[in-house]
Amino acid sequence: MNRDGLESRPEAMKPATSSRPTLWLVFGVILAIANWTGLLEAQTVSASAGDLVRQTVENELKSNNGAAKFMFRDQKETLHGSQTKLIVETTEATAGMLLAIDGKPLTLEQRQAEEGRLERLARDREELRKKQKTEKEDADRTMRMVKALPEAFLYERDGVEMGRLGIGAPGDELVRLRFRPNPEYDPPSRTEQVLAGMQGYILIDAGKHRVAKIDGTLVKDVAFGWGILGHLDKGGRFVVEQGQVGDGDWEITRMNLAFTGRIFLFKSLNIKTNEAFTDFRAVPPNLTFAQGVELLKKQSAELAENLPHGAASAK
């Protein structure tokens, strides 16, 4: 990427030599000066936008290593229905307990089965290590995408918005930047390759250097492995929102994905998920997985008790 996030600049207007009166020559010079001034202003703004993204990404990467941990609700809708889970972050891995399917609370038998599954996972150190490995790989891929943001796109300012619940901090000013693919960007792996065909906008809290929202759409098909491994169709879109949920802590609050394509030339791909994360509550930073499971069981039981009579045991 052009490290300043700049577009190529057109030639400045040059006053042509002619027999026109001197006034026209002066007017032409003024236009040329005005044109160059505008270009310099655009360069300053664009460079500032690129610097803001770079500084924000650096801060996001540092903030990702924070010690704060939370329990929260995860509401996920897919093409096959919806699920509601209670999630808790621990020192070993995240633990999640299913609360409802398609809006219907689990029966007593289903809740007991969920508790048994989590208890077995807490005792099985090998399975827990596999879960840790999978979560770390997912986190590493996410961080690689975040690291690529300053280089993968060209940015320009597009006004401001106010933060609101789930997007930044309510009442704080957010800088809106439009982005488009940087033609000079060479994705280092398939993980970052999807960025080469995407454009959209990003909202940044310039004071806190945090990303409040990214909304990106594929403006062309993106092939992986020369098209042999697969491709994503033009029109695919992702939206990620992040907001302040604690004492200066920020967490992902919404993630929407809508992509179609093919894998290995023959298998169709159709991803459509809308996921909202709410009701964040801080938990001890040294919480173990087994302790997290007990916390989930306790909270799940309290939620079941507060349901309308018969709802939790309905078949």
pLDDT, tens digit, 9 for 90 and up, residues 135-151: 999 989 888 999 999 99
Q: How long, in residues, is the chain? A: 315
Any idea where the domains of the chain sit in the sequence? 67-305
Identify the band that residue 262 occupies on the pLDDT scale cut at 50, 70 and 90.
confident
Of 1-10, 77-86, 223-232, which range is least confident? 1-10
Contact 230, 224 (CB under 8 A): yes
Residues 6+ apart with CB under 8 A from 264: 228, 229, 230
Nearest in space to 204 (alpha carbons), one of 253, 167, 166, 231: 167
The pLDDT of residue 18 is: 42
What is the C-alpha to C-alpha distance for residues 56 and 146, in angstroms, rounded to an integer? 10
CA distances from 136 to 131, 166, 289 (A): 9, 25, 15
Q: Could you give the percent of the chain with pLDDT greater than 90?
A: 63
- Report the chain's mean pLDDT, rounded to a whole number: 82
Across 262-288, average pLDDT: 90
Q: Could you give the percent of the chain with pLDDT greater than 70?
A: 79
Which long-range contacts link 80-89 to residues 24+ away (Cβ below 8 Å)? Answer: 86/296, 86/299, 86/300, 86/303, 87/277, 88/283, 88/287, 88/292, 88/295, 88/296, 89/283, 89/287, 89/292
Residues 6+ apart with CB under 8 A from 300: 86, 97, 99, 111, 114, 115
Q: Is residue 210 classed as helix, strand or coil in its secondary structure?
A: strand
Nearest in space to 76 (alpha carbons), one of 276, 296, 300: 276
CB atoms inside a 10 Å sphere around CB 287: 19
pLDDT tens digits along 200-216: 999 999 999 999 999 99
What is the C-alpha to C-alpha distance for residues 280 and 253, in angstroms, rounded to an integer? 9
CA angle in degrees (0–180, nearest 5) for 109-110-111: 90
The pLDDT of residue 226 is: 52
Q: Is the pLDDT of residue 47 over 70?
A: no
The pLDDT of residue 67 is: 72
The pLDDT of residue 308 is: 55
Identify the band that residue 227 occupies on the pLDDT scale cut at 50, 70 and 90.
low
pLDDT tens digits along 79-131: 999 999 999 999 999 999 999 999 999 999 999 999 999 999 999 999 999 99
Q: Is the pLDDT of residue 41 over 60?
A: no
pLDDT tens digits along 142-200: 889 999 999 999 999 999 999 999 999 999 999 999 999 999 999 888 778 888 889 99
The pLDDT of residue 66 is: 63
Across 24-38, average pLDDT: 36
The pLDDT of residue 25 is: 37
The pLDDT of residue 170 is: 94
Across 279-298, average pLDDT: 95
The pLDDT of residue 65 is: 66
